[in-house]
Amino acid sequence: MEFLKMHGLGNDFVVVDEITNPSLANQSLPELGRKICDRRFGIGADGLVLLLPSSKADFRMRIINSDGSEAEMCGNAIRCVARYYVEKYKPTKRSLAVETLAGIIKPEVLENNLVRVDMGRPILKPQEIPVAVEEEPVNIPIEVLGQKFYFTAVSMGNPHAVIFVDSLAKIELEKIGPAIETHPLFPRKTNVEFVEIENSKKVKVLVWERGAGATLACGTGASAVVVAGRILGHLTEAVEVILPGGSLFINWNFGESVYMTGPAEIVFRGEYYL
């Protein structure tokens, strides 16, 4: 099986093109994802990303997390596959339509390995995120490991719990992250973002991804952070989101799509023996 190793701000993926040369038809994808993503016994990645044919878009993207679960959408992964597709298939346009479990997502490949993505409109209704609260999911109290936090729930096609804190230095991500991810308030688990505000145009974020754990960056997470920050009145329309792997630039006007801009890098090509 031929593959490409790519990353978006250190959120890394094994990318496999199944559009013209399918090789995984008889494979168990959860098991394969766990094996390939293992950093000692496999290639090593946060996720296995497949490009597949689509009848309603340029191609379809599937994402298998390192624990074998499937993600609806991943902002960093979609930037990577968009760059790959444009360089491999050389379409006449640089704006693409990509089918995902979260719907059709529209990335545009720019210069200097940057990709701008129309992430769609955020989902804010509790039952659609989903989060088990009746009221608007803004500043909801949650207690884990003897600590109390307040989260705002947002879906960018996948669920996020955004928590604003005074200092990221006080956050024990490896303990608190999984406790919130698997909390009963989140019937399909959740991604978790801890946010420290530098000013209304710049934030620092730590990410705990559902199914992958601590990652260096998360595109849907950065988008959810800005949506939550705008709802709470903390942030402006255009925000630099500083993640451990680098910065993403997010734009959101109320009632409109979220736009995310960031890099997509190719690391190496290789062959994996099934």
C-alpha span between 66 and 211 (Å, rounded): 7
> Does 74 qualify as catalytic in the annotation?
yes
139 is in an annotated binding site: no
188 is in an annotated binding site: no
237 is in an annotated binding site: no
76 is in an annotated binding site: yes
* Tokens linked to 189: 């688990």
Contacts of 36 (CB under 8 A, 6+ apart): 3, 14, 42, 43, 45, 48, 272
87 is in an annotated binding site: no
75 is in an annotated binding site: yes
Q: Annotated catalytic residue: which of 61, 218, 226, 260?
A: 218
* Tokens linked to 80: 């990577």
136 is in an annotated binding site: no
> Does 80 qualify as catalytic in the annotation?
no
Q: CA 238 → CA 232, 249, 251, distances in Å?
A: 15, 7, 4
C-alpha span between 169 and 17 (Å, rounded): 40
CB 15 within 8 A of CB 84: yes
219 is in an annotated binding site: yes
Q: Annotated catalytic residue: which of 64, 74, 96, 248?
A: 74
Annotated binding site for substrate: 11, 65, 75-76, 158, 191, 209-210, 219-220
Q: Which residues are catalytic?
A: 74, 218
Binding site, residues? 11, 65, 75-76, 158, 191, 209-210, 219-220
